[in-house]
Structures are given as structure tokens and as C-alpha cells.
């Protein structure tokens, strides 16, 4: 089975490489959210099959475009749960297909539809984000009132700011979608978005995901202001309601308001991206008082004559101080990226203090990244959570240090449509894990090949 999937993936990628060579003349920019793709194809350039099908001109002011992607991943662990006593033969294969169509009518109306098929083989215990045989990933209509105001209704992948609290969950096999209503104001300096959204609950079959399941919902007002070329801020309020949420202190309905400020830009050669969030609300009969502060600085460098950056991130994320004081201090990261510190997906944004230096560089079509992260529990009375904010390791000892993580990412851009990437991670358990009987070094690797058209 593994060999068959590998052969299919290799043949598919090879076919796409050949096809991609026919599209060199296209002027295309693929975005993470494909509704934001930049497509510039002039009638005089339409001399190939790809150009004729990629974007159709419908009258003078309307277009219909098509696109999609295929992503193959092979992922493996050794000591996946920091224990050599468990099965060490874990290697699985993931395939994700996406196809979309985008209709733009007279600069007034947009219709965007995207289907997704996320498949996996050779993995025994599936998480909710591993498999979704066939589903509607996005399907929305946007009405454009004028140059500043637009209204969106439907299903959408969503990313706010740097993706710290609301992201599309690109790392895992299945993206995060919301059924939502959104009103947006924008001009060159200002963007204000207000929305009410319900996250789509995943099932593994064909078109069987639950829509408008009000066990969980989120409403937000998000304001981005570009003060000048090097100084911008995000100010936001996000209110989330979730039934039967589980933290280390128990399970109850969690209703919380997140008030945030992000300051980003550059000062001379130094780029910065700093964010502070305070949360209040209720968890059952407990009051919520939680917070986080994140700091990120980058400085440009040269490595062997090639441009790169050296950076430092650090985060302080509150955890619960006392299970019996009537207050919950555990921070809720809301909808963060599925793998918060690399695709290894072991440590998530709650009850955490980390120091994260890194260096990145580009060598022609190669890009290389090396990073190191040291993790501590912020509170000794709270547990350690995974990226989906599920309780991974309960607080069963008073140790604070979780462990060290060393990661590498090597990427190669075959052309603008095809990219290859190899990521590796080592996590060395600290005292907290070791005293819980989890004292074996975790190794993780994932190979990714992706084609976009």
C-alpha cells in the first residue's frame, strides 16, 4: 500500500512538471487563500491550452477562472509520545486535492467555490484533521458596494493578522472553514472587518460535514491601520462561545472575549511583530482572566553571499494558577495554525513560555530554515496542551521545563507551480515529561510535494 501511494504520487508530480513547462508565459501569483490569486492573462497570450482554460473572459467586465492544487505528504515519527515502548513503525501518506472556480461579475459580485479531498493511508489512529474524503472547503458570495465596502456570505477559510489566533490550519491535511457573514471596509490605509462565524465540524465521509452547529461560534471586529510604510497596528475584539470545553481544571461551557493589540513593521533594518491579548469571560462558574504577550524581531544577514534573516521569538502564555480560586487563567489560542511550532504538532499555545531563535536563508531556488525552541510551563498547576488546544499532558508533577526542540526545513522551488519541502524535528523531553514517564527523544519528519495551477 505504501509503495503504491508513493509511485502514484511520483507519477502525478512528474506529469505536472511536464504540464507546468507549458505555462511559463502566464503571469500568475498563487496565494495561500486562492480567492486572492493574482491572474493577469492577456488575450494575445492565449496560445496554449492552459491559458485558454485558466481564465475565461465573459463579456467586457466579467471573468471565470479555475485553479487548484495537489499536495502529497509522507510523515513519520519515532517515539511519537516520547516513549520507546510504543509502536515505532508509524509512517503514513497524505494526499490533498483542491479545486476551485472564481466568477467575477462587473466588479460588483464574486462567487467562489472550492472543493477539497483529503485522504490518508497507513495511520491507525486518525485525528479529525487527517481525513475528509470529499467536502466543500469554501463557497461564498461577495457583493461589492463600492471601492470601500463589501459583504460576504457563505463558507470561507479565514486568517486574521499574523494568524496567531485565527488561521486556516494549512499544516494539517484538512483546512479550517467557517460558515459566516462578514462586512468589510477597506482603503489603502485602513481595513476593518466584522463577522459572525460558525466553524465547520468535520466528518470523514463525502459531503457530510456539519454546517451551522451552534455548539461553537465566534464573532469579531478586527481593525488594521497602516500608519506609514514602516508602522502598522491591529486592534481587535473576538468573542467565542464553546460548549463542553476541556481544560486541565475540568470541562464546562467556555465563553470568552479576547481583546488584542498587534504592532508590526520595521525600525531601520529590524523587522518586528509584537502582540498582546487579554481574555475575560466565564468557564462554567469560573471567571476567566488570561493573557499572552508575543515578541518577534528579525535582522537581515548574508550567508555565503545569500540574503537571509536571523530572528528571535518569545511568548508568554498564561496557565491556570489555582484550580480552587474561582478563576481560570488558561489562555485559549482560539483557532491557531494546526502545527504551532513546526508540523510536529506536540506543543500548543496555552500555559507556555518559550524562547525561539531561528535563522533562514535562500540559495537560488533553495530555502533553508533552522530553529531552536525551549519550552516551559508558565504555571506548574496547569497541564500542557496540543495545537488544537486539547489537553496533551496533565499536570501530574511540579516540574516546569517541558523540553528542547530543534527543527529544520529545506525547500526547493522546482518552478512557480511545484515546490518540494523536507522538515525534520527533534524534541528532547525536559523534567516535566520525564517525571511523567515520557523520557525518550521524539523524532519527526515530513516530506511535502505540492503543485498549484
| φ, ψ at 54 (rounded to 5°) | -65, -45
| φ, ψ at 410 (rounded to 5°) | -120, 120
pLDDT at 340 over 70: yes
Boundaries of domain holding 86: 2-452
Q: Tell me which H or E stretch contains 446.
A: strand 442-452
- pLDDT tens track for 72-102: 999 999 998 898 887 666 789 999 999 999 9
CATH at 369: 2.40.160.100
For 34, the 3-state DSSP assignment is: helix
Q: Tell me which H or E stretch contains 282.
A: strand 270-283
- pLDDT tens track for 371-406: 999 999 999 999 999 888 888 899 989 999 999 999
Q: What is the pLDDT of residue 16?
A: 46
Q: Which of 240, 194, 245 is CA-nearest to residue 221?
A: 194
CA angle 337, 340, 341 (to 5 degrees): 150
| pTM, rounded to two decimals | 0.89
Please give the share of the chain, as a percent, with pLDDT higher than 70. 91
Tally of domains within the chain: 1
pLDDT at 417 over 80: yes
Q: What is the pLDDT of residue 13?
A: 47
Amino acid at each position: 500500500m505504501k509503495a503504491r501511494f508513493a509511485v502514484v504520487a511520483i507519477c502525478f508530480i512528474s506529469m505536472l512538471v511536464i504540464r507546468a513547462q507549458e505555462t511559463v508565459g502566464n503571469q500568475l501569483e498563487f496565494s495561500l487563500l486562492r480567492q486572492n490569486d493574482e491572474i493577469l492573462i492577456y488575450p494575445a497570450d492565449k496560445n496554449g491550452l492552459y491559458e485558454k482554460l485558466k481564465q475565461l473572459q465573459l463579456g467586457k467586465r466579467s471573468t471565470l477562472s479555475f485553479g487548484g492544487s495537489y499536495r502529497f505528504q509522507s510523515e513519520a515519527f519515532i517515539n511519537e509520545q516520547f516513549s520507546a515502548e510504543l509502536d515505532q513503525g508509524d509512517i503514513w501518506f497524505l494526499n490533498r486535492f483542491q479545486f476551485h472556480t472564481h466568477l467575477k461579475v462587473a466588479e460588483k459580485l464574486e462567487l467562489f467555490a472550492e472543493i477539497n479531498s483529503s485522504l490518508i493511508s497507513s495511520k491507525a489512529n486518525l485525528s479529525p484533521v487527517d481525513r475528509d474524503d470529499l467536502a466543500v472547503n469554501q463557497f461564498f458570495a461577495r457583493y461589492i458596494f463600492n471601492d470601500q465596502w463589501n459583504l460576504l456570505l457563505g463558507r470561507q477559510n479565514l486568517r486574521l493578522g499574523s494568524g496567531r489566533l485565527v488561521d486556516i490550519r494549512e499544516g494539517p491535511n484538512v483546512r479550517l472553514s467557517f460558515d459566516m457573514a462578514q462586512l468589510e471596509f477597506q482603503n489603502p490605509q485602513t481595513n476593518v472587518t466584522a463577522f459572525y462565524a460558525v466553524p465547520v465540524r468535520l466528518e470523514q465521509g463525502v459531503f457530510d460535514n456539519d454546517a451551522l452547529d451552534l455548539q461553537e461560534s465566534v464573532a469579531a471586529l478586527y481593525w488594521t491601520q497602516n500608519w506609514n510604510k514602516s508602522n502598522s497596528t491591529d486592534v481587535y475584539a473576538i468573542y467565542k462561545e464553546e460548549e463542553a470545553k476541556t481544560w486541565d481544571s475540568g470541562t464546562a461551557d467556555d465563553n470568552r472575549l479576547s481583546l488584542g493589540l498587534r504592532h508590526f513593521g520595521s525600525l531601520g533594518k529590524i523587522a518586528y511583530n509584537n502582540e498582546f491579548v487579554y481574555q475575560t469571560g466565564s468557564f462554567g462558574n469560573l471567571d476567566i482572566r488570561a493573557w499572552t504577550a508575543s515578541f518577534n524581531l528579525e535582522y537581515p544577514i548574508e550567508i555565503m553571499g545569500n540574503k537571509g534573516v536571523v530572528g528571535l521569538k518569545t511568548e508568554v502564555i498564561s496557565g491556570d494558577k489555582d484550580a480552587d480560586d474561582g478563576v481560570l487563567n488558561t489562555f485559549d489560542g482560539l483557532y491557531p495554525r494546526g502545527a504551532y511550532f513546526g508540523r510536529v504538532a506536540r506543543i500548543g499555545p496555552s500555559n507556555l513560555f518559550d524562547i525561539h531563535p531561528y535563522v533562514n536563508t535562500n540559495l537560488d531556488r533553495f530555502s533553508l530554515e533552522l530553529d531552536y525552541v525551549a519550552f516551559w510551563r508558565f504555571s506548574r498547576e496547569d497541564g500542557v496542551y496540543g495545537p488544537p488546544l486539547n489537553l496533551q499532558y496533565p499536570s501530574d508533577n511540579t516540574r516546569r521545563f517541558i523540553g528542547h526542540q530543534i527543527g529544520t526545513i529545506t525547500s526547493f522551488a522546482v518552478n512557480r507551480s511545484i515546490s518540494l519541502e523536507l522538515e525534520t524535528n527533534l524534541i528532547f523531553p525536559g523534567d516535566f515529561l520525564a517525571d511523567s514517564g515520557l523520557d525518550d527523544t521524539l523524532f519527526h519528519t515530513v516530506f511535502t510535494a505540492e503543485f498549484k495551477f
